Chains A and B, each alone.
Chain A
Amino acid sequence: EDQVTQSPEALRLQEGESSSLNCSYTVSGLRGLFWYRQDPGKGPEFLFTLYSAGEEKEKERLKATLTKKESFLHITAPKPEDSATYLCAVQAVNYGQNFVFGPGTRLSVLP
């Protein structure tokens, strides 16, 4: 059965304290792995798409990487405004245009 898990469930960091979030997946025929950011009471906001193992994408303080079984979202020197829930989602060949979302990691960055 296809699965997407994320760890940790919640993470509290001090401002400037770098860390990584993990997304592990078991799907057949991965087409893409997507990262979203969700603020409370709002819809998820698209961040990155990764297609193949070894690929990396960067945006400001965020860098996403992909291996054959997992993806990491590295947060370098985070700021309080980075506080949000980070969701990963996978798209597989038998999903059509749809995704399976992970449960998310709730990140809090304290000033």
Chain B
Amino acid sequence: DSGVTQTPKHLITATGQRVTLRCSPRSGDLSVYWYQQSLDQGLQFLIQYYNGEERAKGNILERFSAQQFPDLHSELNLSSLELGDSALYFCASSVDSSYGYTFGSGTRLTVV
């Protein structure tokens, strides 16, 4: 157990739907990062939050949004889902990225 908890582990939904992925960071970590991993794209950075504030954005689609709550857990919202959104979505946390991230075990999203 890495200390980063992601739920749900698996999610199957239809095109056009909306889903919410949840992440609880490791205790003491203020930064939360969301990454998407698909077979053809590798790990792609989506967005970072630090202590409730958005800190950086990567290749995140406008249909996707995220937030970090006062208790530091984070949610990634994916809407108007398309088949191409099927991927593994990872959350990671860190206290200082110089020491690398701690990743959760991911949520596997399948859009049918």
Q: How many Å from the CB of B111 to the closest CB on chain A? A: 18
- How many B residues touch the partner, as a band? 20 to 34
Q: Which residues of B contact A (CB under 8 A)?
A: 2, 4, 31, 33, 42-45, 48, 55-56, 58, 90, 92, 94, 97-106, 108
B45 & A46 in contact (Cβ 8 Å cutoff): no
For residue B97, which residues in chain A have a CB less than 8 angstroms away from its CB? 91, 97-99
Q: How many residues of A contact B (CB 8 A)?
A: 23
Closest to B106 in A: A43
Q: Does A45 contact B (CB under 8 A)?
A: yes
Contact of A43 among B42, B56, B103 (CB under 8 A): B103
A104 & B99 in contact (Cβ 8 Å cutoff): no
Q: Which residues of A contact B (CB under 8 A)?
A: 31-32, 34, 36, 41-46, 49, 87, 89, 91, 96-104
